[in-house]
Amino acid sequence: MQIDTTGVSSDTTIGLLPPDSAATAQPLPDTLGRMSTPSLVGTLDRSLDSTRVITADNLHWLDYRYLGGLLESVPGVFLREQFSEGQYSQLNIRGADWRTIAVLSDGRLLNDPASGIFNLFHFTTEYADRIEIITGPRSFLYGLNSSGGAINLLTKNYNSNKPFSKINYSESAYGYSIVDGTFSQNISRKINV
């Protein structure tokens, strides 16, 4: 994308690019957990990128109790909690209601067919390999009720010769406790439970 600078003096700041670097496009490092796309610094394409990605490597550095707390760390995603375990947390993406947000696991819709919502406590974050948050006009491609946004939860494939198990237990005041666990065992080649 080129900016027309005719009639503008050389000391006027228009963008983040110096005049001689407009022809050299370099891929930007992926420091924000976003998809890396080759683009110019300061272009409109980079600022309108509406897909955020949280990888399994980034999960270790985020403070969360469940999927809702993890999604709340993404800019433009707001969460209204009911302050009781098991209650639906109302998720808003860029002002869109929680009934207009599709939640998918490996491309399969997880939303309740009757109400159109998904309880964020029902997804174990230990299974997450990658979480894609799609906002903007592209989100309608992911389901019927995804006009506000789409969240695609890509799961890990625990295919190992040795059994794998992990338990996460958290406890705090007022009788709050949560247990989250994962177990995987191969029963034959490339088939595990």
- Give the alpha-carbon dihedral of 75, 81, 84, 86, to 10 degrees: -70
Q: β-pairing, 149-155 with 101-105?
A: parallel
- Domain regions of the chain by residue span: 44-155, 158-193
pLDDT at 151: 92
Name residues whose C-beta falls within 8 Å of residue 145's C-beta, 6 or more positions apart in sequence.
Answer: 99, 100, 101, 102, 111, 116
Per-residue pLDDT tens for 163-176?
878 887 888 888 87
CB atoms within 10 A of CB 146: 23
Q: Are 156 and 145 in contact (CB under 8 A)?
A: no
Per-residue pLDDT tens for 103-162?
999 889 998 888 888 888 888 787 888 999 988 788 888 877 888 889 999 988 777 778
In 3D space, the residue among 29, 26, 30, 47 whose CA is nearest the CA of residue 38 turns out to be: 26
Report the C-alpha gap between 68 and 88 in whole angstroms.
10
DSSP symbol at 7: T
Per-residue pLDDT tens for 50-93?
788 888 888 878 777 788 888 888 888 888 877 666 677 888 88
Average pLDDT over residues 47-52: 68
191, amino acid identity? I
Q: What is the pTM of this model?
A: 0.65
Q: Which CATH class is domain 44-155?
A: mainly beta
Report whether pLDDT(4) > 60. Answer: no
DSSP symbol at 51: E
